[in-house]
Structure 1
């Protein structure tokens, strides 16, 4: 009889006996299994309705593992009572697994959003830098500055010609001097006349004096021609000449009276810029202390502008 009674023990009875032996309440078991207390009560009473029957095998197995009951004996008793020995256990889907999966999906979703936002920011920065570079290139009047330097180059050529005339005037006077020496020398080249050494010495001594007097007469003429050429260049077509020398790197912006920008940008140290345009000029300098300015070959006093500060002024000054 005892063996038959053991065989008639149901899974619910085994679970209840083990729970009471461990002094656990149904609420405590339900909390640990993440189930409702009424489901625990139905499992211990072997009351399986239509809804509970679908997950009953998994609930019983999880309940037995919690109470450390032999799984084979417990599932055999459950099968005898319900007639589900041949049914296959279905994997339990708990809320914890679904929550973990949703958390993983959320992390991937936020990572994707962050990558897309970063790409959009990089695209915007590239577009903004490209537009700024195009605007700067369009604002630089390179042809105007080159054209403005052409009269200055003509002035340099005139000054160079005047300098060449001053440093080598003997080339112009060499032929007349040689001609005068040849004409005034009456001595026969084939038969030297030793009886007239005094006349020859006098002629040789007078030649340097004649060259010096002719050179002194020529120098003022050359200087006057160079000065007149420079002056004519300055006033040609009513354009004023502006020269700027940079001892250090400096940003500059020069606009003439017609509104044409004749110079713009950062100039390197040692750069000499020759400009021409209609006066007055509106000049903006990033660091006026490193710039020397000549207007129509007249030096401009830059002492009034503090070093390291942007200066904006007009040349010539308007009274």
Structure 2
């Protein structure tokens, strides 16, 4: 039985290696009555590239990754299952040096000579040195300050308010702008520490004796409190700021480039080839997973209104990275 499975596997690999991809694509196109120029217009590629796909001239493309992306777009447009076609393409390219690496297996490991490694190492060393020298100094200063300022439990004496004399009462009654703290007398009286309402329902911070003297002089205690009350600061409403950008992702292309973008839900926001001079704008739920089949074809990559440098993620013209 194992021998039969081995024979089937060998036969399947042989079939994939001998599959005429271009003939299958062309047959499907002709069955749909599509002309080469019409297909090139729909895919936004040149008619020469359509000829190259149908003639199995994949070496005419910049890389195997680029050719693979065109094949996938071609199959989707003619409503053809692209998975067996791409599998046959991968088998046929196995003996050559391929620029394509599966998306799920593209590692983000940095070599020991990557400049980012040096930068991160330098930052970590600086933090260790800073903590080593600063922490003993901070501890010594804290102990010195604690020794110089011991905790005190002294009782706080309530402030004493002087009673107003007859002259100051006359000034208040006549409407003069004399501050309340100038109403004083030589006899100190203990101040009421908590605000209490008087007979008229007015809550003041004056002592009971002061209120009685003011009422006897015909002065409204509320007017005295209002004269010393500080005006309340106006409440400034918060103004919500909208983001300065309209789309989460905006990509401008200087050459043809195969692009695939997925959002946090796994939804494919875009998968296909964008031509030179075009712009791709996408929105979804972050984080985003991005794959660029021909990274040099991207002129500008803008994420949430700011330019994003993905050069450190490029490996043989293929870039794969994640945007948080």
TM-score, normalised relative to structure 1: 0.28
TM-score, normalised relative to structure 2: 0.27
Structure exhibiting the larger radius of gyration computed from Cα positions: 1
